[in-house]
Amino acid sequence: MNLFLRIDTNVIAMILLGIVIFLAYHRLDREEEMNKVFLRVSLIIVVELFFETATCMINGKPGTWSYVISNILHICLFVGAPILTYFWYRFIYSWILPEKASYLSFKSFLILPVLVNAVISVLSPFYGFVFSIDPSNNVYHRGSLFILSAVIIYFYIVYCLGLVIKHRKHFIKHEFFPMVILGILPMVGGILQTLFYGVLLMWSSTAFSLVVVYNFLQQRMIHLDELTGAWTRGSFDYYISQRIKYQEKDRFGVIFIDLDGLKRINDEFGHCEGDSAIKTSVELIKAAISKSDILIRFGGDEFLIIVNCDKVEVLKQRIKAIQLSFQNFGKNADQKYLLDCSFGADLYSSKFSSIEQFLHHVDSIMYKNKKAKQQKENFSSWENLME
């Protein structure tokens, strides 16, 4: 009965997280990187829960095989923990600061704690660094460096939490809260497990936090445009208000995009073909912009791109890249029509009394370009309108 009371939380967490993994696998878009990571992390947590539960069940069981298996399970448990939190840090860093993701190669020293933990964990059966198993009764004991291993595990979680709070302006409302929960719950569970020997809360609390994150991922689908996967206008409104409220030294610009000839496509080929043209256009735009840029579907055939920059030239480079993407598609694809778009762009500054005034300003630039383009050229024009 005492054993069941120790492992019941882990068993419940495994069952609950197993159900969530099943639902997530069938309901979420498995091609999206965030959903891929969620599924991978969830599977690792289930494995860690299994290892932890198995170590409790085998603890104190007599026999040579019990002694060997217990050591192997504990090695896997302690080696795997910081690997999981390290890769979670890599994911959070790449998500929040994708334009600096390549800089991670210069932060390779951050994996050193993982390697140190792996070494002391593997050597623990011989030297008792992180844990030791008494060969006389196969009972688990914490080693002299157990606290060091715990610090390494939670170093990455604390660092992730700090990144999330520092760069909160990068999140929309429904993203920020789950990211904080994902950091706090495992820390609370881990601290309690470290302070009170025999309490199993570390991985179960992580599993419960992933249930919260799954709910967020489903809610997130609501705040993404169903057709294109771009942000909705509601998500943009919240984000931009937070961006301006917590304005930092980094500036940003906006590119306003209007898809040309969509009405003609709808009239001549039907709305299904029109939807296909919109999705293709979004794919072409995404292929041409930076991972740090944010694409928003502002209206039916209107899109915004938020670009972190302080020079108009950067906006012009983005536009040229998008135009080139459309041009290459037009040359290589056997289409009944050509895809093209008109642009307006500028940097946001304090001279604008509100974000609405700024968007109206960029929108007017776009329509001037669109009008000038229509007067000079036909539907399939590819002229650089921003020169």
pLDDT in tens, 26-80: 877 776 666 777 888 888 888 888 888 888 888 888 888 889 999 999 999 899 8
Confidence of residue 387 (pLDDT cuts 50, 70, 90): very low
Residue given tokens 């007067």 in the structure block? 375
Q: How high is the pLDDT of residue 220?
A: 65
What are residue 346's phi and psi, to 5 degrees? -170, 165
Q: How high is the pLDDT of residue 386?
A: 42
Percentages of the chain per state (helix, strand, coil), in multiples of 5: 70, 10, 20
> If 0-12 CB within 10 Å is exposed, 13-18 middle and 19+ buried, where does residue 249 land?
exposed
- Tally of structural domains, the chain: 2
**Do 191 and 243 belong to one domain?**
no
Greater model confidence, 224 or 255? 255
The CATH number of whichever domain residue 128 belongs to comes to 1.20.1070
Return mean pLDDT, the chain. Answer: 82
- 289 contacts 305 by C-beta, under 8 angstroms: yes
**Do 12 and 148 belong to one domain?**
yes
In a domain, 338, yes or no: yes
Greater model confidence, 109 or 285? 285
**Do 104 and 40 belong to one domain?**
yes
Q: Is 303 helix (H, G, I), strand (E, B) or coil?
A: strand
**Do 265 and 359 belong to one domain?**
yes
**Do 268 and 133 belong to one domain?**
no
**Do 7 and 155 belong to one domain?**
yes
Amino acid at 94: S
What are residue 16's phi and psi, to 5 degrees? -65, -45
pLDDT in tens, 324-361: 999 888 877 567 788 889 999 999 988 888 889 999 99
**Do 185 and 307 belong to one domain?**
no
Q: How far is Cα 149 from Cα 133, in angstroms, rounded to an integer?
A: 17
**Residues 6+ positions from 250 with CB-CB distance below 8 Å:** 308, 310
**Do 32 and 155 belong to one domain?**
yes
Question: With 60 as the cut, is the pLDDT of residue 101 above it?
Answer: no
Domain boundary (178, 194, 222) is at 222
- Six-digit token string for 78: 């302690």
Greater model confidence, 39 or 362? 362
In a domain, 349, yes or no: yes
Confidence of residue 86 (pLDDT cuts 50, 70, 90): confident
Greater model confidence, 175 or 264? 264
pLDDT in tens, 187-210: 788 778 777 766 677 778 888 888
**Do 191 and 52 belong to one domain?**
yes
pLDDT in tens, 161-173: 888 888 776 666 5
Domain boundary (222, 256, 282) is at 222
- Predicted TM-score (pTM) of the model is 0.61
Straight-line distance from the first to the last Cα atom of the chain, in angstroms, rounded to the nearest whole number: 77
Helix (H) or strand (E) holding 150: helix 146-166
Q: Which residues of 312-323 are buried (b: 16+ CB within 10 A; e: fewer)?
A: eebbbbbbeebb
Q: How high is the pLDDT of residue 100?
A: 56
Amino acid at 367: Y
Q: How high is the pLDDT of residue 379?
A: 38
Q: How high is the pLDDT of residue 192?
A: 80
Q: Is 146 helix (H, G, I), strand (E, B) or coil?
A: helix
In a domain, 181, yes or no: yes
Q: Is 347 helix (H, G, I), strand (E, B) or coil?
A: strand
**Do 172 and 210 belong to one domain?**
yes
Q: How high is the pLDDT of residue 247?
A: 58
- Six-digit token string for 268: 């001549």
pLDDT in tens, 129-140: 999 999 888 888
pLDDT in tens, 262-299: 888 888 889 899 999 999 999 999 989 987 788 999 98
Least confident range from 6-15, 103-112, 325-334: namely: 103-112
Q: Which domain holds residue 353?
A: 233-376
- Six-digit token string for 149: 């291993």
Q: How high is the pLDDT of residue 132?
A: 94
**Half-sphere CA count of 366, side-chain side, radius 13 A:** 23
Least confident range from 6-10, 306-310, 327-331: namely: 6-10
**Using a CB cutoff of 8 Å and minimum separation of 24, what contacts does 69-76 make?**
70/133, 70/138, 70/140, 71/124, 71/125, 71/133, 74/121, 74/124, 74/130, 74/131, 74/133, 74/140, 75/121, 75/122, 75/124, 75/125, 76/51
**Do 91 and 184 belong to one domain?**
yes
In a domain, 384, yes or no: no
Q: Is 302 helix (H, G, I), strand (E, B) or coil?
A: strand
Question: With 50 as the cut, is the pLDDT of residue 1 above it?
Answer: no
Which one-letter DSSP state was computed for residue 232?
A: P
**Do 141 and 276 belong to one domain?**
no
pLDDT in tens, 236-258: 887 788 777 665 556 899 999 99
Amino acid at 258: D
